[in-house]
Amino acid sequence: MSRFKDLQKNLFGGTTSNARQFGMIFALVAIVLFFQVWTEGLTLSSGNLIAVVSQYSYILILAIGMLMVIVAGHIDLSVGSVAAFTGIVVAKLMQDHSIHWFLALLIGLGVGALVGAWQGFWVAYVGVPAFIVTLAGMLLFRGANQWVGKSQSIAVPEGFQTIGGGFLDDIGPNTNFNNPTLLLGFAVCVAVIVREWQLRRTRTRMHADPTPLWVAAIRVGVLIAVILFATFRFAGGRVGTSFPISGIILGVLVVAYSFYTRNTAAGRHIYAVGGNSRAAELSGVKLQRVNFMVMMNMGVLAALAGMIFVARSRASGPQDGIGWELDAIAAVFIGGAAVSGGLGTVSGSIVGGLVMAILNNGLILKGIGADSIQMIKGIVLLLAVALDVYNKRQGRFSVIGSITKGFRGSGPSTPSEPPAQKVQTPVVG
């Protein structure tokens, strides 16, 4: 049994706080394999993998921002409307004023920042609950989208389309694969090895328990196998397609925000505020600034997601962004975040988002109707979170339980207490 514990503890580089994520990764693998069999190999075909990445990258980008908002103890219902508003503004600018697409992209991010700052102001400095502020924002920016675009679809120029519908170019010798995608895949493999090596060195230097070598080898081995598999699949799609540009944008954001939320003081402050805002404030965290930045950041990411969607659709329309907030919030919670804040990781949210994406994609491939798919997704969301709550009550392996246990005395379970998240502790580090 000890080996299993070793594996569970070390395989994905974390301890208890990664427990739920660990479960989700296995759920993801199970779902992928299930659909791979059920769809007779379509799920992991090149064409489908490429489609999944370009179809869901914008939702996953939203999930990154939403994770930070939820960790800080808020919620953002306006992301879909903000995305749609930015999309139409950018499309209009390019159509009516023939602004270069790259400049329009920057303006779009600026619009997102302004919208985010507006909402952040009300949340952080006036103290209106984020639920209300963003509910207002949802209406405000949906209306603004239809007002600016006169409820019509507006096409965007070809250059702009690359951020949502573009692929890595075919360059270099004809290897029957897309060369840049191959290089990208190999680079990621090297990065995985280097990082593993660095982690081991750090642990040794700090005289911490080093990860058993065999676990490290499996971890790296599995990761590299998966990456190579994906690389060849993405590089081997229909000519003209390869790894989507939107996927690269997503990848960069995931790495950057993972680092920010895990390894920087400002990032940890978000967890402190969400865990226990009073304690955080007393410890010198600038509460208002953290809340403001989290909301503003969400605005920028929502703008980016909106522009990627518009680029992929080649036009901005009045129905853009409807329901996106729900997809992003679902991804974050399936990925292990706590409803009351203070808990959750960027990578967890991405895994949660991918579970929903593969589920959605697999069901569509099987020709299941949109109505049934919504019902299935609803059930999955409910069950994923219910399982965690249940495990906690049973005194078993649970994220929330394992952290709050030390503060509640010796009893592994306290059934008389109302379930879930009543006891809040700052989770710093």
Which residue, 151 or 394, has its beta carbon nearer to another protein? Answer: 151
User: Token pair 């907030």 is at which residue?
Assistant: 325
Q: Which of residues 207-226 bind another protein (CB under 8 A)?
A: 218, 221-222, 225-226
CA-CA distance, 348 to 15, in Å (whole number)? 14
Which residue, 120 or 165, has its beta carbon nearer to another protein? Answer: 165
By CB under 8 A, tell whether 238 contacts another protein: yes
Residue 275 exposed, middle or buried by CB count within 10 Å (0-12, 13-18, 19+): buried
CA-CA distance, 11 to 226, in Å (whole number)? 14
- Binding mask 173-202 vs another protein (x if CB under 8 A, - otherwise)? -x-xx-------------------------
Find the shortest distance in angstroms from Cβ 84 to another protein: 11
Among the listed residues 237, 306, 335, 341, the single contact to another protein using CB under 8 A: 237
Find the shortest distance in angstroms from Cβ 315 to another protein: 4
Which residue, 76 or 325, has its beta carbon nearer to another protein? Answer: 325
CA 136 vs. chain centroid, Å, equals 24
H or E segment and range at residue 47: helix 46-71
For residue 249, give the nearest of 194, 175, 303 by alpha carbon: 303
Half-sphere exposure at residue 247, Cβ-oriented, CA atoms within 13 angstroms: 21
Residue 136 exposed, middle or buried by CB count within 10 Å (0-12, 13-18, 19+): middle
Q: Which of residues 11-50 bind another protein (CB under 8 A)?
A: 42, 45-48
By CB under 8 A, tell whether 312 contacts another protein: yes
Which residue, 234 or 271, has its beta carbon nearer to another protein? Answer: 234
Find the shortest distance in angstroms from Cβ 52 to another protein: 9
Provide the angle, in degrees to the nearest 10, between the axes of the packed helices 101-120 and 158-165. 60
- Binding mask 120-159 vs another protein (x if CB under 8 A, - otherwise)? --------------------------x---xxxxxx----
CA-CA distance, 86 to 103, in Å (whole number)? 14
CA-CA distance, 127 to 129, in Å (whole number)? 6
CA-CA distance, 421 to 72, in Å (whole number)? 14
# binding residues, another protein (CB under 8 A)? 60
**Cα radius of gyration (the chain):** 22
Among the listed residues 136, 183, 192, 228, the single contact to another protein using CB under 8 A: 228
By CB under 8 A, tell whether 233 contacts another protein: yes
Residues forming contacts to another protein in the complex (CB under 8 A) are: 1, 3-4, 7, 42, 45-48, 51, 55, 146, 150-155, 161, 165, 174, 176-177, 218, 221-222, 225-226, 228-229, 232-233, 235-241, 309, 312-315, 317-320, 322-323, 360-361, 364-365, 367, 369-371, 373-374
